């Protein structure tokens, strides 16, 4: 059949039009695809960069930032004694847990920024009303706030406030271990990854039976190093009846064996009697925390390997560290290591789970 030239012409025109449409679509598609591809590429690059920066920021041991601030109402260590107590605390921590603080500084006569309004507005005559003397305000207001800040940057300096006001365990519900407190319910310190509070008040009370030169050692080792054990290693308090034959034998023996986190249910003084006899700078005669200390060593090796590029082996060690710490450490430490573990994943895997 003959097709009139006009029809043929219009069919040809239609064909050209479709072809043009096709190329336009192809062009739009390839531009869109290039954009998506570029976006993916860019987000992958950013993810890799972020991961590297976060790896560079990983610290083996957090630096310490110690604040000292005393209220005139209460007895206090002299600045020299406070400095000695800090040195003893850092040395004892190393003796007990084989972990050394390489970086630390002391800020004398000041409190951390967040506590300034409370401490600097203190009036001696209203001391019994002052909320900072009770555990409640620390647990309800300050610890959640410090905790939030720490969560955002777990490698930040661990802040410690050494002060001299009393700190009482209130009757209000709380989850800290209080069986080792004396009848006066005085607390010597609180150890938390977000913040550490050390009060020398209890060491000045006759009930503590701590006198003279012993006081510096008591605050440095029995209180400061102990609270750092909570704040850095996530160790729990082990309260045992030193005279009980029914209790777990190693725990009872641990009190006599200079175990810093073990204490007795009678004011904790039995544990102190054993601790004060040991020589500073020497390893302690205690093996109760070995599993957690070795988890820390594994984590240290894992971080060092990750920094030097041996990611696969580092990941394996880090997994081991987490598994080992899980049975001994406070849940916050395990949660933080699990979060940190994302840095041990390959860039692609981490990018895909963002
Ligand atoms: Zn404790």
Residue at 53 is within a domain: no
Output 224 or 28, whichever has higher pLDDT.
224
- Cα(185) to centroid of ligand 1, in Å? 14
On whether both 345 and 237 belong to a single domain, the answer is: no
Return the pLDDT at 270: 77
Is 90 part of a structural domain of the chain? yes
pLDDT digits (tens, 9 = 90+) for 239-292: 776 555 444 444 556 666 789 998 877 666 778 888 898 999 998 988 889 999
Residue 44 Cα to ligand 1 midpoint, Å, equals: 45
Give the Å distance between the CA of 224 and the centre of ligand 1: 10
Q: Among 251, 275, 299, which residue terminates a domain?
A: 275
Averaged pLDDT score across all residues of the chain: 87
CA of 227 to the centre of ligand 1 (A): 6
Report the separation in Å between the CA atom of 239 and the middle of ligand 1, taken as the mean of its atom positions: 9
Contact between 260 and 279 under an 8 Å Cβ cutoff? The reply is no
Of 40-54, 161-175, 200-214, 245-259, where does mean pLDDT reach its minimum? 245-259
| 349 against 276, higher pLDDT | 276
Helix, strand, or coil (residue 99)? coil
Residues 155 and 181 in one domain: yes
Judgement on whether residues 102 and 217 belong to the same structural domain of the protein: yes
- Give the mean pLDDT of 202-231: 92
Inter-residue contact 325 to 290 (CB < 8 Å): no
In tens, the pLDDT along 30-79 reads: 888 888 888 888 887 887 888 888 898 899 999 999 999 999 989 999 99
Residue 300 lies in a domain: yes
Give the three-class secondary structure for 351. helix
- We report the CATH number of the domain holding residue 242 as 3.40.390
pLDDT of residue 12: 66
Q: Based on the domain organization, do 265 and 313 belong to the same domain? A: no
Q: Is there a domain that residue 297 lies in?
A: yes
- The pLDDT of 199-209, averaged and rounded, is 89
Q: Are residues 188 and 267 in the same domain?
A: yes
Q: pTM score, two decimals?
A: 0.85
Q: How far is residue 81's CA from residue 128's CA, in Å, rounded to a whole number?
A: 27
Predicted confidence (pLDDT) at residue 145 exceeds the cutoff of 90: yes
Same domain, 131 and 203: yes
CA of 42 to the centre of ligand 1 (A): 48
90 and 194 both lie in a single domain: yes
217 and 182 in one domain? yes
- Which of 241, 275, 309 lies at the terminal end of a domain, its last residue? 275
CA of 236 to the centre of ligand 1 (A): 7
| 22 belongs to a structural domain | no
* Spacing, Cα 162 to ligand 1 middle (Å): 16
Question: Phi, psi (5° rounding) for residue 211?
Answer: -130, 155
| 223 Cα: distance to centroid of ligand 1 (angstroms) | 8
Q: How far is the CA of 141 from the centre of ligand 1 (A)?
A: 20
Specify the pLDDT at position 174: 56
Domain boundary among 215, 244, 275: 275
As a whole number of angstroms, the distance between CA 195 and CA 231 comes to 8
Q: How many domains does the chain have?
A: 2
Per-residue pLDDT tens over the stretch 99-121: 999 999 999 999 999 999 999 98
84 and 111 housed in the same domain:
yes
Q: Which domain holds residue 147?
A: 64-275
């Amino acid at each position: 059949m003959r097709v009139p030239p006009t029809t043929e012409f219009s069919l040809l025109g239609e064909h050209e039009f479709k072809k043009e449409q096709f190329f336009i679509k192809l062009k739009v598609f390839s531009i869109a695809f290039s954009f998506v591809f570029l976006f993916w590429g860019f987000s992958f690059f950013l993810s890799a960069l972020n991961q590297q920066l976060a790896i560079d920021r990983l610290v083996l041991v957090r630096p310490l930032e110690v604040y000292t601030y005393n209220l005139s109402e209460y007895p206090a260590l002299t600045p020299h004694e406070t400095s000695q107590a800090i040195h003893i605390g850092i040395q004892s921590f190393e003796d007990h847990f084989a972990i050394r603080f390489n970086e630390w500084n002391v800020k004398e006569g000041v409190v951390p920024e967040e506590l300034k309004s409370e401490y600097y507005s203190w009036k001696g005559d209203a001391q019994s009303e002052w909320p900072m003397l009770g555990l409640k305000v620390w647990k309800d207001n300050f610890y959640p706030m410090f905790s939030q800040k720490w969560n955002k940057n777990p490698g930040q300096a661990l802040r410690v406030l050494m002060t001299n006001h009393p700190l009482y365990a209130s009757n209000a519900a709380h989850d800290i271990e209080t069986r080792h407190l004396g009848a006066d319910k005085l607390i010597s310190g609180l150890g938390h990854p977000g913040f550490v509070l050390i009060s020398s008040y209890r060491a000045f009370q006759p009930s503590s039976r701590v006198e003279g030169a012993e006081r510096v050692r008591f605050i440095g080792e029995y209180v400061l190093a102990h609270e750092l054990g909570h704040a850095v290693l996530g160790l729990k308090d082990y309260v045992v009846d030193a005279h009980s034959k029914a209790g777990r034998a190693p725990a009872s023996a641990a009190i006599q064996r200079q175990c810093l986190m073990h204490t007795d249910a009678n004011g904790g003084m039995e544990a102190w009697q054993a601790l004060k006899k040991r020589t500073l700078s020497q390893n302690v005669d205690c093996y109760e925390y070995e599993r957690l200390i070795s988890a820390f060593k594994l984590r240290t090796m894992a971080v060092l390997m990750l920094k030097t590029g041996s990611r696969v082996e580092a990941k394996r060690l880090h997994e081991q560290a987490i598994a080992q710490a899980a049975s001994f450490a406070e849940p916050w430490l395990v949660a933080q290591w699990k979060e940190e573990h994302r840095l041990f994943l390959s860039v692609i895997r981490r990018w895909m789970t963002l």
